[in-house]
Amino acid sequence: MDLSRRIEAAMSAAIERAQDGGPDRLAHALNYAVLPGGARIRPTICLSVARACGDDRPALADAAATALELIHCASLVHDDLPAFDNADFRRGKPTVHLAFSEPLAVLTGDSLIIAAFDEIARAGADDAPRALALVRLLSRHTGMPGGICAGQGWESEAQVDLRAYHRSKTAALFIAATQMGAVAAGQEAEAWEELGARIGEAFQVADDLRDALYDAETLGKPVGQDAALARPSAVEELGVQGAIKRLRDILSGAIASIPECPGEAQLAAMVQRYAERMTPVAPVKV
Amino acid sequence: MDLSRRIEAAMSAAIERAQDGGPDRLAHALNYAVLPGGARIRPTICLSVARACGDDRPALADAAATALELIHCASLVHDDLPAFDNADFRRGKPTVHLAFSEPLAVLTGDSLIIAAFDEIARAGADDAPRALALVRLLSRHTGMPGGICAGQGWESEAQVDLRAYHRSKTAALFIAATQMGAVAAGQEAEAWEELGARIGEAFQVADDLRDALYDAETLGKPVGQDAALARPSAVEELGVQGAIKRLRDILSGAIASIPECPGEAQLAAMVQRYAERMTPVAPVKV
């Protein structure tokens, strides 16, 4: 099965488990928040690393990938709330709090976070130590003090360190993706941190570039949010050309950082494909 | 160490771990939401059951108890949000969204949920299968389709089944408390479900009675919320005397349901103490 079908099958199964017999509207909201998905970048990276490492426990790798995407979707639902970005659209359709309600959007995020841990615990019966290591990685890169919750929390501080902010807000889940893919396949987490950190950094710079350069119709979400919300941005710091150069440097470093493993070449090719997709070419505002 | 000191020590340590190096305001909000605590009923039940079962892995029992209380505090922070109860006070002080901000209140809840899973994963290194079973119990009784998120979700449905609603909204975390206490001490979860369910049901009826009978000053939070929000209530269904009778019946059943274990008598005495504390005597509105 190709990675994308594997991810969608695992995501659908996870959502069905979370819906089964629960209250209807919240059950529908879970589905709405998660399916159809976006690019599924984090689970794709996770499964790519698991494959590169031999993928000897595919059910655990699927659970790790699903958990990452559930958490990512949860963070989008909460980030879109009126108290945060107050976004009306996400992936080209009304945000969860508009399509359902604000209480159901809060509960959707909460339920997806919990479902993420549940997926790993369910899949871990045959290898509890590995599953527990995955729970630990997921919580570390998701909560406080260094996960994506911390990243959002930095936005409420008077003084923001751009690197610390990006590292927890965006890079954390990419580090989780590479490390959890490796751990699901029986490898140590540490060697895979740098790859995840660099991919995460690249995505953040690419996102800053998109936010600065593209129009709302192309993105399917509001643009200019960084400037409007006075958030730190690589474009503001380095200019457009400087940010594009940084993006390229980061991705070269990412490829160089891939640890020795059976699927090293394939993994390098995947990062290279992402690099090409991420580098902006058009349409650019003058 | 008595249970209460054991719980407070474990809670403080968990919050310090979650704060360490994270953004200041969110770090303070975590502390504010959790310390000083309320009655710590769920962790007390969890540790009481673990003790009754021999408590052979106290670090894991502490983590289970802490996880339950972190989740409970998270649910209070999110329930107090303007989109839900819009509460101004909790435990006699301003709610998290008023003391900090609405975004920080959402993030505080999210971070506490994740910290709950992190605590179990950290404590589980010596016994991964047991820790993973605890993760599973926590997610099952917390998320969708049958945990406390589902309980809140039922409040967005046009038709609410009173028993299903109470079971997921309140009983779920009490079932988690008895089952996780047992599992942390190496016992099977199943035999402990009934005790948790009955204690949970009793607390819900007692809460309905308090909500109907007491004034805001005594409770330190707004009263009459059930009627104001058109929520189902045992008092509405059975009247005050009927609800008091049901409370007594449930607690007798709870004591009768305690599985055979070394600390059975002590555990029965604890439930009896809760029963006496829960049954309203005064001040009653006429």
Tens-digit pLDDT profile for residues B149-170: 999 999 999 988 777 787 898 8
In the predicted model, what is the mean pLDDT of chain B?
Answer: 90
Confidence of residue A41 (pLDDT cuts 50, 70, 90): very high
Confidence of residue A225 (pLDDT cuts 50, 70, 90): low
The strand pairing partners of B93, in sequence order, are B90
What is d(CA B60, CA A283) in angstroms, rounded to the nearest whole number?
Answer: 55
In the predicted model, what is the mean pLDDT of chain A?
Answer: 90
What is d(CA A17, CA A27) in angstroms, rounded to the nearest whole number?
Answer: 10
The strand pairing partners of B89, in sequence order, are B94
Quick check: is A285 in a domain? Answer: no
Q: Which two tokens stand for residue B246?
A: 């049901």
Q: Where is average pLDDT lowest: A30-44, B119-133, B195-209?
A: B195-209
Looking at per-residue pLDDT, the higher value among B219 and A205 belongs to: A205
Looking at per-residue pLDDT, the higher value among B232 and B122 belongs to: B122
- What is the DSSP annotation of B130-195? HHHHHHHHHHHHHSTTTSHHHHHHHTTSSS--HHHHHIIIIIHHHHHHHHHHHHHTT--SGGGHHH
Query: Using CB atoms within 10 A of its CB, is residue A77 exposed (0-12), middle (13-18) or buried (19+)?
Result: buried
Q: Which two tokens stand for residue A148?
A: 């994506």
Q: What is the pLDDT of residue B208?
A: 86
Alpha helices by DSSP H, listed for B222-263, are 225-228, 234-256
In this complex, is the C-beta atom of A157 within 8 Å of any C-beta atom belonging to chain B? Answer: yes
Q: What is the pLDDT of residue A222?
A: 57
Predicted confidence (pLDDT) at residue B221 exceeds the cutoff of 70: no
> What is the mean pLDDT of the segment spanning B222-242?
71
Contact in structure between B263 and B51 (CB atoms under 8 Å): yes
What is d(CA A93, CA A103) in angstroms, rounded to the nearest whole number?
Answer: 19
- What is the DSSP annotation of A173-207? HHHHHHHHHHHHTT--SGGGHHHHHHHHHHHHHHH
DSSP A22: S
Predicted confidence (pLDDT) at residue A221 exceeds the cutoff of 60: no
Quick check: is B32 in a domain? Answer: yes
Residue type, B112: L
Quick check: is B224 in a domain? Answer: yes
> What is the mean pLDDT of the segment spanning A60-68?
98
- Sort out which chain B residues have CB atoms less than 8 A from A128's CB and list them: 128-129, 131-132
Quick check: is A286 in a domain? Answer: no
Quick check: is B193 in a domain? Answer: yes
Complex ipTM over 0.90: yes
> What is the mean pLDDT of the segment spanning A44-64?
97
Q: What is the pLDDT of residue B61?
A: 98
pLDDT tens-digit map of B250-271: 999 999 999 999 999 999 998 8
Q: Would you give the distance in Å from CA B169 to the centre of its chain?
A: 10
> What is the mean pLDDT of the segment spanning B42-64?
97
Across the interface, whether the CB atoms of A153 and B128 are under 8 A apart is answered: no
Quick check: is A201 in a domain? Answer: yes
Block residue for tokens 């698991």: A50
Give the other-Cβ count within 10 Å of B220's Cβ. 12
- Identity of the residue in B24, B145, B155 whose CB atom sits nearest the CB atom of A157: B24
Q: What is the pLDDT of residue A281?
A: 62
Quick check: is A125 in a domain? Answer: yes
pLDDT tens-digit map of A196-219: 999 998 988 888 888 888 765 555
What is d(CA A203, CA B199) in angstroms, rounded to the nearest whole number?
Answer: 49
Q: Going by C-beta distance under 8 Å and a sequence separation of 6 or more, which residues neighbour residue A70?
A: A11, A14, A34, A112, A113, A115, A116, A119
Number of domains in chain A: 1
Q: What is the pLDDT of residue A286?
A: 41
pLDDT tens-digit map of A94-147: 999 999 999 999 999 999 999 999 999 999 989 999 999 999 999 999 999 999
Question: In residues, how long is chain B?
Answer: 286
Question: Which chain A residue's Cα is nearest to B156?
Answer: A25
Q: Which two tokens stand for residue A112?
A: 């997806």
What is d(CA B11, CA B64) in angstroms, rounded to the nearest whole number?
Answer: 11
Q: At what angle do helices A193-213 and A41-52 cross, to 10 degrees?
A: 150
Block residue for tokens 């504390």: B277
In this complex, is the C-beta atom of A146 within 8 Å of any C-beta atom belonging to chain B? Answer: yes
The CATH number of the domain holding residue A173 is 1.10.600.10
Q: How far is CA A257 from CA A245, A252, B69, B161, in A?
A: 19, 9, 41, 55
> What is the mean pLDDT of the segment spanning A259-271?
93
Q: What is the pLDDT of residue B286?
A: 41
Q: What is the pLDDT of residue B217?
A: 55
pTM, two decimals, is 0.92
- Sort out which chain A residues have CB atoms less than 8 A from B26's CB and list them: 144, 149-150, 153, 156
Domain residues for the domain of B107 are 3-278
Instruction: For A266, list phi and psi in degrees, rounded to 5.
Output: -60, -40
Number of A to B CB contacts under 8 A, please give it.
197
Predicted confidence (pLDDT) at residue B143 exceeds the cutoff of 50: yes
CA trace torsion B200, B202, B203, B205 (10° rounding): 120
In this complex, is the C-beta atom of B110 within 8 Å of any C-beta atom belonging to chain A? Answer: yes
Quick check: is B286 in a domain? Answer: no
In this complex, is the C-beta atom of A131 within 8 Å of any C-beta atom belonging to chain B? Answer: yes
